[in-house]
Amino acid sequence: MTVRPVSIEDTPLIDALSRVIGRHGFEGASLQLLSDAAGLKRASLYHRFPGGKDEILAAALDRAAERFAVMLAPAFDEGNPGDRAALVAERIDEYYDGGQESCLIVALTLADDERRSMAAPCLSAWADAFAAIAVDAGVAEAEAIERGQDLVAQLEGALVIASSTGDRAPFRRAIARLARALTSPSVL
Amino acid sequence: MTVRPVSIEDTPLIDALSRVIGRHGFEGASLQLLSDAAGLKRASLYHRFPGGKDEILAAALDRAAERFAVMLAPAFDEGNPGDRAALVAERIDEYYDGGQESCLIVALTLADDERRSMAAPCLSAWADAFAAIAVDAGVAEAEAIERGQDLVAQLEGALVIASSTGDRAPFRRAIARLARALTSPSVL
DNA sequence: GGTCTATTACCGAACGATCTGTTTGTTATG
DNA sequence: CATAACAAACAGATCGTTCGGTAATAGACC
């Protein structure tokens, strides 16, 4: 077996690159910015990702899907729906660092149609996880699905506001309300 | 007085340019794309906007502020808060074409820090207008402000979802719920 | 242990292409 | 005659990408 004297491991590397794409968008994330954030020269990035920017984006999306799966896992566990919702809310808060972190999904909104649709599965998984909790809390399925979507929208919008104005209060409120909004028997 | 044989008037020109910036972001909106959307060659765009892309962005933001003022005007009228909210909701729905239109504010989220902050006043005006309606409906001021922000987040997030997945249902629901959410005496 | 070789990560330098920003001159319109 | 629009080109920067070379390590062989 060969030994690889890497200067930065794959996981933190991809996380750093994801942050740049999330903050500047796919087109705005120039190799210069990516290189700076990674601590690797442009040519070295091509050694890690021979497919160029597209492969970097694919890696970022794979990593996002992986992190989303962990983040949303409690939604599909057994147990009290309220507790599961609270745990998911806590992990979402961690993932987005209390609203400071920008969202890769939002960033891809400004890319080509092809790349824009790459984020859709993440969004669906998110809404589905919320809906699963609501269903377990006794909410009718049709309404549970709507609530899931709407609460994802609430969080995404709060992230946009945080990015634009720096005000993280809407995100904090959305996180704080999440469990109640998912499990409440009445309308949202 | 001079005569100006323009091929496209300022207002529709700026609207077309705004759409391009909203869809591709400021960096992604190359002069090629802007030129195509405007039906004017690059050199002609420089004739209309001698300051280049920055002047185009400034014009787009001025126009957005103007359209926002019209859209939100009923919030500061007199009369039934519920009716005013419904009227504002209708105009928001028009502005974003039922969720099809992408939001310039979201697009600027991915720009430089300087340009990113340019969208903040629009966002504040929006939330303030919502808050004004809620206050007139008898909601305590502190909660009214929060509701305003949260409902803006709901709408922005719904626009993100529409951009990503093409599903405009969350936006439609947010519009439909707006008046009730603003004027309801209970919590959101 | 010492030496060779293969493999790997990384980097410097350059490539062609595209972008922004601008200029000059021409055509067309009112 | 003034203005709008265009064609064509320019420099300079930056884009994504490729190629060749360097340093460092691992295993093989003596």
Q: Is residue A1 part of a domain?
A: no
Q: Is residue A2 part of a domain?
A: no
Residue A151: partners with Cβ closer than 8 Å, 6 or more residues away: A130, A174, A178, A181, A182
Q: Is residue A53 part of a domain?
A: yes
Nucleotide with minimal C1' distance from the CA of B30 is: C19
Helix (H) / strand (E) containing B91: helix B81-95
Quick: pLDDT tens for B20-65.
Answer: 999 999 999 999 999 999 999 999 999 999 999 999 999 999 999 9
pLDDT band at B186 (very low <50, low <70, confident <90, very high): low
pLDDT at B188: 46
pLDDT at B8: 81
Question: Is residue B88 within 8 Å of B129, Cβ to Cβ?
Answer: yes
Q: Is residue A50 part of a domain?
A: yes
In this complex, the answer to whether residue A4 has its CB under 7 A from any atom of chain C, a nucleic strand, is yes
pLDDT at A1: 40
Distance A54 CA to C4 C1' (A): 40
pLDDT at B5: 60
Q: Is residue B188 part of a domain?
A: no
Tokens matching residue B15: 């609207």
pLDDT at B1: 40
Mean pLDDT across the stretch B122-143? 97
Mean pLDDT across the stretch B6-22? 90
Q: Is residue B49 part of a domain?
A: yes
Q: Which residues make up the interface with nucleic strand D when CB must lie under 7 A?
A: A 1-3, 5, 27, 29-33, 42-43, 46, 50, 52-54; B 2-8, 39-44, 47-48
What residue numbers bound the domain in which B19 lies? 10-183
Structural domain count, chain B: 1
Minimal Cβ distance to A161: which of B110, B153, B163: B153
pLDDT at A26: 95
Quick: pLDDT tens for B100-122.
Answer: 999 999 999 999 988 999 999 99
Amino acid at A126: W
Percent of chain B with pLDDT over 70: 96
Q: Do A156 and B152 touch (CB under 8 A)?
A: no
Question: Is residue B22 within 8 Å of B64, Cβ to Cβ?
Answer: no
Residues of chain A with confidence (pLDDT) below 70 = 1-5, 186-188
Q: Do A150 and B111 touch (CB under 8 A)?
A: no
Minimal Cβ distance to A27: which of B28, B124, B156: B28
Convert B20-59 to b/e letters by CB count within 10 Å (16 or more is b): bbbbbbbbbbebeebbebbebeeeebeebbeeebeebbeb
Work out the mean pLDDT of chain B and round it to a whole number.
93
Distance CA A154, CA A152 (A): 5
pLDDT at B118: 92
Q: Is residue B4 part of a domain?
A: no
Minimal Cβ distance to B153: which of A102, A116, A154: A154
CATH number of the domain residue B26 falls in: 1.10.357.10
Q: Is residue A188 part of a domain?
A: no
The CA–CA distances, whole Å, from B78 to B59, B73, B75, B81, B83 equal 31, 11, 8, 8, 10
DSSP A3-23: ----SS-HHHHHHHHHHHHHH
